[in-house]
Amino acid sequence: MTKWIVPNVIALLIFAFLVLLLKDKPMLYEGTFLVDAFVITGFFIWLGAGIVFIDQEGVFDIAIYGLKRIVRLFKKSVDDDFPDSYYDYSEGRKSRKRVTLYPTLIVGTVYVLVGIIIYLVQ
């Protein structure tokens, strides 16, 4: 259930921010700000899902590992459970639980479709 709640809450926050931002701007016709707010919200949700997908594939692993190694150099108390090599670190990250992305993609698609429908109706 939370896999549907989180993307909806994020989408509603983005949508509300965009409506407040765009409602006083000069538009070509009445209601343009709603179309823009829906479509931009959908694109932001798709982009967020894309970044999560890329992270799950391990693209950011080397950057995360490197930053953690640098931070460990400056820490007074160093935890011993950190992997010794990048290979061990990346294998450990592969075994973690993956996030289900289809609810996020569906929420983004709904927002884009609602924006397109409003545009076509007006």
Amino acid at position 78, single letter = V
Residue 8 to residue 111: CA distance in whole angstroms: 10
Whether the CB-CB separation of 90 and 58 falls below 8 Å is answered with yes
If we measure between CA atoms, which residue out of 9, 54, 19 comes closest to residue 39? 19
Which pTM was predicted? 0.77
Task: Give tens-digit pLDDT for 6-65.
Answer: 888 899 899 888 888 877 777 767 768 888 889 999 999 999 999 999 988 888 888 988
Task: Give tens-digit pLDDT for 75-95.
Answer: 777 777 778 888 888 888 888
49-70: buried (b, 16+ CB within 10 Å) or exposed (e) per residue?
Answer: beeeeeebeeeebeeebeeeee
